[in-house]
Amino acid sequence: MSARRSGLEPASRLASSVVAGVMCMLASLLPNSAYAWGADGHRLVAEAAEGQLSASARAEVARLLAAELGATLASISTWADEVRSPTTASWHYMNFPRDAGCIYSADRMCIEGMCVVGAIERQVAVLASQAPDEARLKSLKYVVHFVADVHQPLHAGFADDRGGNSFQLQAYGRGTNLHALWNSGLIGQWPGGLPALRAAIAASPASESAKPAPAAWAEESCRVVAADGYYPPGRQLDPEYGQRWSATLTKRLAFAARRLATVLNEALVTP
């Protein structure tokens, strides 16, 4: 019996290693559809917002971030994804029913505040309060992330396809879904790379089409998703899709940065 076990164990370990390797390979092929904008998008928003902070807000941000060596708004912008849990997962998005006409209803779409709109409102309140610095730093991290999240159109998309996660398509020679395409695919394919996109965000017009409130930002994102042509026909990304939606992508990132700066400027007023 002992000899038989010793003969089988290496094979068992080999099989386990093969299975683990296959699972890792498959995981690497799956689109990263859980996170809004991807790391690059979040950092771009945070960088652009930092340049629009008031002197008072900039000083208070620096004071709070000093608790973590080398931290910047850009470096903390992805923290909320890194610590995401079953409890906080719903804080990153909200879903509109198709029959809602992109009109937000907290009772219907954000029960007990468990959506990105409610999360922004709660965390801004903590940031603007006299709470201990540790709690306010945590809220700062959430606010920087969630304001960017709600401006990714599919983080305020439709419930029936889970914000585009269930809409499979072919793009850039591979299978993906619409949510992942807007998270990082379009950013990754931006002509000229991140420096060019950063310049486009900085040059984006300052006019806005929604009042500065999280619910309005979510409604604005929903209207983008509802626009004709947003869902690629035939589930195949044509070569012109990125060009057609480039101005919208730039505007969403620029609005996120501008509104984040406004939120921080108002919440971090020195008494």
Nearest to 253 by CA among 199, 189, 179, 177: 199
SS3 content of the chain, % helix, strand, coil (to 5): 65, 5, 30
pLDDT (tens digit, 9 = 90+) per residue, 219-247? 999 999 999 999 999 999 998 999 999 99
**Residues 138-165, mean pLDDT to the nearest whole number:** 97
Q: Cβ distance 168 to 175 under 8 Å?
A: yes
Query: In the structure, what pLDDT confidence band is assigned to residue 20 with cuts at 50, 70 and 90?
Result: very low
**pTM listed for this prediction:** 0.86
Nearest to 124 by CA among 252, 221, 268: 268
CA distance 85 to 108: 23
pLDDT score recorded for residue 208? 62
Mean pLDDT of the chain: 88
CATH homologous superfamily of 32-267:
P1 Nuclease (1.10.575.10)
CA distance 184 to 164: 14
pLDDT score recorded for residue 18? 39
How do the domains of the chain map onto residue ranges?
1-30, 32-267
CA distance 256 to 262: 10
Phi, psi dihedral angles at 72 (to 5 degrees): -135, 170
